Amino acid sequence: MAARLTAEFLDNWKNEVNPDLQKERETCTFKIEELIHVLDGGKENTIKRKNLENIFFTSYVDLFSFKRRPFMSKSEQYESSVAKSVKVFELRREYNWSEEDFDLINRILNYDFALSLHHTMFIPGIERLATDEQKAKWLPLAQSYQIVGTYAQTELGHGTNLLGLETTATYDRERDEFMINTPRLSSMKWWPGGLGKSCTHAIVLAQLVIDSQNHGMHPFMVQLRSLDDHTPMPGLKLGDIGTKLAANNIDNGFLILNNVRVPRENMLMKNARVTRDGKFIQLSGNKANYATMVLVRVKIISWTKDTLRQAATVSVRYSAVRRQTTLKPGTPEQQVLDFQTQQMKVFPCLAAAYAVHFVASSMMDWYQSAFTEILRGNNSQLAELHAQSAGLKAFLTDMSTGMVETCRRSCGGHGYLQVSGVAENMVSSLALVTIEGENTVLYLQTARYLMKQMANAVSGTKTRGSTAYMNRDLSSYTCPIDSQSDCRNLNKLRELYMQRAHRVVMGVAQRLQMDMESGQPQEAVFNNNMVALTRAAKAHLHLSTIDWYIARVDNLVATCSPALGQVMAELCTFFVLWGIVQEAGDFLESETLGLNQLEWIRQEQLNYLTILRPNAVSLVDAFDMHDETVASALGMFDGNVYQHLYESTKYEPNNRTEVHPSYYKHLRGLLKGGQQSKL
């Protein structure tokens, strides 16, 4: 008898861990709990995380499970996401979660609830922009969810260039009100999350106009929808902007304001005031606003870590389970994780997930200490903080989106299915390269900072922090790599990154100087060197990344068990070597290394693939992501990828009936249209 795949088997398979994955776990050389606690920031945090996971994925699993999500229409996604928001907000009230807990919950739930801007932008906006009196009015309403809000800044025609925003708030002295307008098509607010269908209020950014004089952009509290029946308020038109690559659970919206009147006290007046008689008073600079912008970018770096973790988890587990082809005739098909090319797709992402974890954590520490100083009136770190957060947001999201896509491809055809999880992750993570500052614009901001610092360094003023390398003597450099074994020395490798950054940044600075001296107008000089400036920023940011990563790993090696320390150092060394090979052109062109050194580094990079191989599965297990957070048929802990793929098809709407309705409407006519069949 031929073997048969029966219905009984399909319905009754046992959820045992795939033996290939089990075997991988047995080759782990370190204690996995130790690493889990390191990543969580202590055992107590691990416990807290697991408790939170338990609430959402045990007590409310029907609502929060990922399984139906890939099969929902946009409206269904939105509705489910509103339901989740409401539940999360109720639970927040019940458990009195802190902001930090809430960040963790966001991560656990993959940021999959519609009203998240209420807590990430609307309430912080009130706290930052409103006077104490205004806070006393609005915060209790927002905190008790009697109102839900968003932050409406971006317009159809303007994103990055805030100065160009067109919405106006014109003061009407007679009625003591502002009249808010989006005067042109391009002026309508466009993109804010929750704006389309959900929110009752928005902080609307508008150009303040008094007696035809423009006083710049200021925030206004605008009621969008009736608190009785949720219908739009008079004079405004709003809706959902439509389907996106991902995040279709969120109703990003448009808003047209047509002579919408708000009382004078709805201008949030912490930083600037308009008096009853229409006098404009600037109260303080926007350093605190500035700090908020920085904070959001630091948070994005941290989100990037989560996308990398998910992609690495899916692709490493799947690659351990998937078998395909054999290199040696007569032997069983091999795990695709054993192919060198597959390792080269997957391990950089795995290492980067650790790198970005440590960088994000260091950035956050720095932000917090610098912000404390800013509140004390000391702004000395602000310029560097701004340049580094902008640049690293760009550099790390660019790097990670590429890696996530490579991981997706490493899953072959199945990586194209939404239930792969890594497909959804990829398209979601693509938002990060544009939101909160388009990446090219951000690189150029970093580059401007670097040019200033370089000018300082050249003129003898010592630079500090991330640009301290600019004080070095470029000409005295000799390549520290004298043998292949030097390629395992993180300090020597760091030297290479430093020299490359220094040379590339210096090269552009000199070029700019030359162009200026040739009499070209400043804007032409800047525009004609934009590509080079971007390249310089990347070289610098690459250095910052590995610098922070190495520092944290050094620290970890000194404090953790030797077994774990060794693996952490290996992973870090691989990441640093990989970066050099990726940018080989830059390293050669800046004469940081020669052809021999590059060949050693390339070879050593390949050696590390073999070194990392036995711990690969354990290194993703240590992220300890809940199956519901990984949200992937290919990446579950049990590794039963084919069962999970097959099971997912029961949620597919096209499978609701054996014969699809379109047969009766369209196909039958075609099939029966010819001669009568003789079959």
Question: Looking at beta carbons only, is 271 or 401 nearer to a second copy?
Answer: 401
Q: How far is CA 362 from CA 11, 90, 387, 433, 549, in A?
A: 48, 33, 15, 21, 9
Does 330 bind a second copy (CB under 8 A)? Our answer is: no
Rounded least distance, CB 236 to a second copy, Å: 11
Q: CB of residue 306 vs a second copy: minimum separation in angstroms?
A: 19
Tell me the closest approach of the beta carbon of residue 316 to a second copy, in angstroms: 17
Q: Hunting for tokens 């050194």 — which residue is that?
A: 597
Shortest spacing between CB 666 and a second copy, in angstroms: 5
Q: Are 525 and 516 in contact (CB under 8 A)?
A: yes
Q: In sequence order, which residues have a C-beta less than 8 Å from that of residue 229 and are 6 or more positions away?
A: none
Contact with a second copy (CB under 8 A): which of 170, 310, 499, 618? 170
Residue 390 — left, alpha, or beta (φ > 0 → left; ψ -120 to 50 → alpha)?
Answer: alpha
- Which of 28, 52, 256, 572 is close enough to bind a second copy by CB under 8 A? 256
Options 42, 183, 216, 285; binder of a second copy; rule CB under 8 A? 183
Closest to a second copy by CB, 435 vs 455, is 435
Q: What is the DSSP string of 458-507?
A: HTTPPP-GGGGGGGS-GGG------SGGGGG-HHHHHHHHHHHHHHHHHH
Question: Which parts of 581-600 interact with a second copy (CB under 8 A)?
Answer: 583-589, 591, 595, 598
Quick one: which of 213, 282, 555, 655 contacts a second copy (CB under 8 A)? Answer: 655
For residues 41-70, which are near a second copy according to CB under 8 A?
70
Q: Identify the residue among 233, 563, 606, 611 touching a second copy (CB under 8 A).
A: 606
Shortest separation between residue 8's beta carbon and a second copy, angstroms = 11
With contact defined as beta carbons under 8 Å apart, do 39 and 623 qualify?
yes
Number of residues that bind a second copy (CB under 8 A): 156
Residues 380-409 touching a second copy, rule: CB under 8 A, are 405, 409
Q: How far is CA 581 from CA 148, 158, 506, 577, in A?
A: 49, 39, 22, 6
| SS3 call for 352 | helix
In the bound state with a second copy, the residue whose beta carbon lies nearer, of 275 and 675, is 675
Least distance to a second copy, CB of residue 434, Å: 5
**Residues 422 and 407: beta-carbon distance below 8 Å:** yes
Q: How near is the Cβ of 542 to a second copy at its closest, in Å?
A: 14
Stretch that binds a second copy, among 34-42, 242-250, 265-273, 307-315 (CB under 8 A): 242-250
Radius of gyration of the chain measured on its C-alpha atoms: 28
Binding test (CB under 8 A) with a second copy, winner from 30, 66, 71, 366: 71
Question: Which residues on adjacent β-strands are paired with residue 221?
Answer: 203
- Cβ atoms within 10 A of the Cβ of 177, count? 18
The least CB distance from residue 646 to a second copy, in Å, is 7
Residues 245, 383, 468, 514: which binds a second copy (CB under 8 A)?
245
Amino acid at site 60: Y
Establish if 340 lies at the interface with a second copy (CB under 8 A): yes
- Rounded Cα distance, 502 and 507, in Å: 8
Distance in angstroms (rounded) separating the CA atoms of residues 125 and 290: 12
**Among 120, 134, 153, 181, contact with a second copy (rule: CB under 8 A):** 181
Kindly tell me the sign of the dihedral angle through the C-alpha atoms of 566, 570, 571, 575.
positive
CA-wise closest residue to 576 among 552, 596, 549, 603: 549
**In terms of Cα–Cα distance, which of 220, 217, 138, 134 is closest to 178?**
220
Residues with Cβ within 8 Å of residue 193, at least 6 apart in sequence: 114, 116, 117, 150, 250, 251, 252, 253
Indicate the residue among 44 and 591 with the shorter CB distance to a second copy. Answer: 591
Residue with tokens 């007679």: 174
Minimum CB distance to a second copy smaller for 42 or for 521: 521
Q: Pick one of 14, 279, 328, 376: the residue that binds a second copy (CB under 8 A).
A: 328
436 given a catalytic annotation: yes
In the region spanning residues 616 to 645, those forming contacts with a second copy, defined by CB under 8 A, are 642-643, 645
Q: Could you tell me how far CA 383 lies from the centroid of its own chain?
A: 23
- Rounded to an integer, what distance in angstroms lies between the CA atom of residue 123 and that of residue 221? 12
**Beta carbons within 8 Å of 642's beta carbon, 6+ residues apart:** none
Q: Other C-beta atoms within 10 Å of 631: how many?
A: 26
The span from the CA of 424 to the CA of 95, in Å, is: 31
**Of these, 377, 519, 562, 673, which contacts a second copy (CB under 8 A)?**
673
Q: How far is the CB of 131 from a second copy (least distance, A)?
A: 18
CB 209 within 8 A of CB 274: no
Which residues inside 79-138 make contact with a second copy, applying CB under 8 A?
Answer: 79, 82-83, 85-86, 89-90
Residue 207 interacting with a second copy (CB under 8 A)? no
Instruction: Kindly tell me which residue out of 27, 58, 98, 259 binds a second copy, with binding defined by CB under 8 A.
Output: 259
Per CB under 8 A, the segment of 28-36, 342-350, 363-371, 561-569 that binds a second copy is 342-350
Question: Using CA atoms, how far apart are residues 459 and 388, in angstroms rounded to an integer?
Answer: 22
By CB atoms closer than 10 A (0-12, 13-18, 19+), residue 55 is middle
Q: Which of residues 518-537 bind a second copy (CB under 8 A)?
A: 521, 523-524, 526-531, 534
Among 175, 230, 462, 472, binds a second copy (CB under 8 A): 230
Nearer to a second copy, 383 or 584 (CB): 584
**The one segment of 28-36, 48-56, 232-240, 384-392 that binds a second copy by CB under 8 A:** 232-240
* Mode of pairing for the β-strands spanning 168-172 and 201-210: parallel
Select from 35-43, 299-307, 436-444, 467-475 the region that touches a second copy (CB under 8 A): 436-444
Catalytic residue among 76, 127, 373, 436: 436
Q: How far is the CB of 586 from a second copy (least distance, A)?
A: 8
Residue with smaller CB distance to a second copy, 366 or 578: 578
Applying CB under 8 A, among 233, 431, 479, 569 the residue interacting with a second copy is: 431
Nearer to a second copy, 508 or 568 (CB): 508
Closest contact distance (angstroms) between CB of 72 and a second copy is: 9
CB closer to a second copy out of 388 and 439: 439
The nearest distance, CB 460 to a second copy, in angstroms, is 29
Residue 69 to residue 83: CA distance in whole angstroms: 13
Distance of CA 90 to the CA centre of its chain: 27
Task: Indicate which single residue of 23, 43, 175, 184 sits in contact with a second copy (rule: CB under 8 A).
Answer: 184
In the set 47, 61, 136, 185, which binds a second copy (CB under 8 A)?
185
Residues in 148-167 that interact with a second copy by CB under 8 A: 148, 154, 156-161, 164
- Residues annotated as catalytic are 436
